[in-house]
């Protein structure tokens, strides 16, 4: 048994159509190009061509406008309030995270090379400081993604 082949079926709208996937070729179809030639004629589906029978699965390459609009509305309902909140919080968060990163790195280096604190957790403080700095980058990336 051959693999699954996709044969286009035109629905009448420019740039939109369905592909039917069948495990075997329909009668009288030699290849995908042959199916293209038989199913598409002057921008319309050729009504004389028999539709496939048997194991058929329909997939759309056009947009289903209702589902797309509902999905877009749902995404906007989540995206816009979150973007508004992050836009308000961003200046304060950027200042606090940058200050924590800078002060943490300076304190870690100072206390590591001085004998003021003999058992100072240098790598822990340095890692937390670098984590604060990377959170600024993550905040910018999230806001950029939500603004699209």
From CA 14, how far away is CA 40, in angstroms rounded? 12
**Per-residue pLDDT, 8:** 52
Q: Three-state SS for 9?
A: strand
What pLDDT does residue 1 have?
42
- Cα separation, 139 vs 94, whole angstroms: 8
Question: Which residues, in sequence order, are bridge partners of residue 59?
Answer: 19
> Residue 138: exposed, middle, or buried by beta-carbon count in 10 A (0-12, 13-18, 19+)?
exposed
Which tens digits make up the pLDDT trace of 68-108?
889 889 999 999 999 999 999 999 999 999 999 999 999 99
**Eight-state DSSP code of residue 13:** S
- State the pLDDT at residue 85: 95
Report residue 11: phi and psi, to 5°.
Answer: -100, -5
Query: 107: Cβ–Cβ under 8 A, 6 or more apart, which residues?
Result: 125
pLDDT at position 83, please? 94
Whether pTM exceeds 0.85: no
Encode the chain (148 residues) as per-residue pLDDT tens digits: 444 555 554 445 444 444 445 445 555 655 655 555 555 544 445 455 555 555 555 555 555 788 888 988 999 999 999 999 999 999 999 999 999 999 999 999 999 888 888 888 999 999 999 999 999 999 999 999 999 8
Alpha carbon distance 48, 26 (integer Å): 14
Nearest to 21 by CA among 48, 55, 45, 44: 55
In the chain, what are the domain boundaries? 5-60, 65-147
* Cβ atoms of residues 54 and 99 within 8 Å: no
Give the closest residue to 15 by CA, choosing from 67, 62, 69: 62
């Amino acid at each position: 048994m051959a693999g699954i082949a996709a044969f286009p079926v035109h629905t009448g709208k420019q740039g939109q159509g369905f592909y039917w996937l069948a495990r075997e070729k329909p009668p009288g179809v030699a290849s995908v190009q042959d199916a293209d030639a038989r199913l598409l004629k002057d921008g319309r589906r050729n009504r004389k061509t028999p539709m496939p029978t048997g194991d058929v699965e329909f997939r759309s390459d056009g947009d289903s406008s209702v589902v797309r609009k509902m999905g877009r509305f749902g995404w906007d309902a989540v995206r816009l309030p979150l973007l508004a909140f992050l836009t308000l919080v961003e200046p304060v968060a950027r200042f606090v995270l940058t200050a924590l990163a800078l002060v943490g790195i300076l304190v870690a280096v100072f206390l590591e090379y001085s004998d003021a604190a003999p058992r100072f957790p240098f790598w822990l403080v340095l890692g937390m400081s670098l984590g604060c700095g990377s959170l600024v980058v993550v905040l910018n990336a999230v806001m950029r993604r939500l603004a699209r």
